């Protein structure tokens, strides 16, 4: 087996080696059944047990209250941009959105197809380099909910604290779910694509308060109703079996690391190492304002685009993969999700120091 490189990709992101090795065995012969996991019926007792264990682990690790349903859906997190307003708004109703990045902006566009959308805050003119403090926006009194994105992968910003409001919170946690402790009871709905912190692409987790299942207008198609999937434990149609299995394996790994509280401390340390290297240099420049910095995605620039291209190329030759920034802002970006090893950050910081010395 070739030596593993450091995968700084923003998504799909790196996965624990233990999980990959276990999956490689189970994909051929799952639990000595004589067949691989990906060819097994989703209604078999073996896979039903996998799905149940995955849900139970997620409930345990996130301390999800009993009055919330956990759904494993398809269509990517982007499908939630329209499913949420379809199910929770209805004609003539209003929702408030915070525009803090590309994915927030896409959600606003979709939501406007279904209701009256009030954009209470936007940092687009500042190239989304910050998230707001609670005194920088107000939630319309007649809004059904406040929609936000907890972590913005492209611009490297993150809400360190969630809004305090008497309105229901709806949150896209695709890129920082399970990276820190949260109080699920503060949210009406949380969703996350798996491919950054939970597993491979193919499944989107939705955590929804049960009372919201009955708010869906009758005009919404069967497959796009949350209640359809809640009533059938995500088995209304064939679910993304392998992706659900892989999420379960990642959750087992996370539990072995000490759970979300332990992972939060590890993430703070990893990000701190990289931010210290950026802040201690005039050569590197972070994109996000300090109070809005993400623990998951760290975009930064060098003095010139030419140096950035050279940095990315030399880094890749040494096994640092995926450091090219998103095309919308350029530069470099290091994504250091839960499964990204601390040693990879240490080694990147050392390379950054050596590159600066050679190119200043």
- Read off the tokens for 167: 């309105």
Predicted pLDDT at 90: 76
CB burial of 162-181 (b: ≥16 within 10 Å; e: otherwise) equals bbebebbbbbbbbbbbbbbe
Annotated binding site for L-glutamate: 43
- Cα four-point dihedral sign 80, 81, 85, 88: positive
The residues that bridge with 70 in the sheet, in sequence order, are: 207
Answer whether 312's CB lies under 8 Å from 323's CB.
yes
Annotated binding site for pyridoxal 5'-phosphate: 77-78, 103, 153, 172, 195, 237-238
Predicted pLDDT at 243: 98
**Residue 289: closest CA among 159, 141, 190, 199:** 159
CB burial of 107-138 (b: ≥16 within 10 Å; e: otherwise) equals bbebbeebbbbbbbbbbeeeebbbbbeeeebe
347 has catalytic annotation: no
Catalytic residue among 69, 172, 176, 324: 172
Annotated binding site: 43, 77-78, 103, 153, 172, 195, 237-238
Catalytic residue among 69, 196, 227, 324: 196
Predicted pLDDT at 92: 78
How much is the pTM? 0.97
- What's the fold here for domain 257-359? 3.90.1150
CA distance 263 to 92: 42
**Residue 8: closest CA among 196, 199, 150:** 196
252 has catalytic annotation: no
Predicted pLDDT at 1: 47
Catalytic residue among 26, 103, 176, 324: 103
Q: Would you say domain 20-256 falls under CATH 3.40.640.10?
A: yes
In tens digits, the chain (360 residues) has pLDDT values of: 468 999 999 999 999 999 999 999 999 999 999 999 999 999 999 999 999 999 999 999 999 999 999 999 999 999 999 999 999 997 779 999 999 999 999 999 999 999 999 999 999 999 999 999 989 999 999 999 999 999 999 999 999 999 989 899 999 999 999 999 999 999 999 999 999 999 999 999 999 999 999 999 999 999 999 999 999 999 999 999 999 999 999 999 999 999 999 999 999 999 999 999 999 999 999 999 999 999 999 999 999 999 999 999 999 999 999 999 998 899 999 999 999 999 999 999 999 999 999 998
196 has catalytic annotation: yes
CA distance 85 to 114: 6
Task: Please enumerate in sequence order all residues whose Cβ is within 8 A of that of 278, keeping only pairs 6 or more positions apart, or say none.
Answer: 284, 285, 286, 298, 300
CATH 3.40.640.10: which residues of the chain?
A: 20-256
* Radius of gyration of the chain from its Cα atoms, rounded to whole angstroms: 21
CATH 3.90.1150.10: which residues of the chain?
A: 257-359
Predicted pLDDT at 325: 95
Q: Pairing between strand 6-7 and 320-321?
A: parallel
Predicted pLDDT at 317: 97
Dihedral of CA atoms 152, 319, 271, 297 in degrees, nearest 10, equals 0
């Amino acid at each position: 087996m070739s030596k593993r490189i450091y995968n700084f990709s923003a998504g799909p992101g790196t996965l624990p080696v233990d999980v990959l090795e276990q999956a490689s065995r189970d994909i051929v012969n799952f639990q000595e059944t004589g067949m691989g996991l990906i060819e097994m019926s989703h209604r078999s007792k073996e896979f039903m047990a996998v799905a149940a264990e995955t849900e139970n682990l997620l409930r345990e690790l996130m301390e999800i209250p009993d009055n919330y349903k956990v759904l494993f859906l398809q269509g990517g997190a982007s499908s939630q941009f329209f499913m949420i307003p379809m199910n929770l708004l209805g004609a003539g109703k209003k929702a408030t959105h915070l525009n803090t990045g590309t994915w927030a902006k896409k959600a606003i566009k979709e939501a406007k197809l279904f209701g009256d959308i009030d954009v209470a805050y936007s940092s687009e003119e500042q190239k989304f380099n910050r998230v707001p403090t609670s005194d920088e926006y107000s939630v319309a009194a007649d809004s059904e909910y406040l929609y936000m994105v907890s972590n913005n992968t492209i611009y490297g910003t993150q809400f360190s604290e969630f809004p305090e409001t008497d309105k229901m919170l709806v949150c896209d946690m695709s890129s920082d779910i399970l990276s820190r402790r949260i109080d699920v009871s503060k949210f009406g709905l949380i969703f996350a694509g798996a491919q950054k912190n939970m597993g491979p692409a193919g499944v989107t987790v939705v955590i929804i308060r049960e009372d919201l299942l009955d708010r869906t207008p009758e005009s919404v198609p069967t497959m796009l109703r949350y209640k359809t999937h809640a009533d059938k434990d995500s088995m209304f149609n064939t679910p993304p079996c392998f992706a659900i299995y892989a999420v379960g394996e990642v959750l087992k790994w996370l539990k072995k690391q000490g759970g979300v509280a332990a992972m939060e401390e590890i993430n703070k340390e990893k990000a701190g190492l990289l931010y210290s290297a950026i802040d201690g240099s005039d050569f590197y420049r972070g994109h996000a304002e300090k109070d809005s910095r993400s623990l998951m995605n760290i975009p930064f620039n060098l003095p010139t685009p030419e140096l950035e291209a050279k940095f990315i190329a030399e880094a890749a030759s040494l096994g640092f993969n995926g450091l090219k920034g998103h095309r919308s802002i350029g530069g470099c970006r290091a994504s250091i999700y839960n499964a990204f090893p601390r040693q990879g950050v240490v080694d990147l910081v050392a390379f950054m120091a050596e590159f600066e010395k050679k190119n200043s």
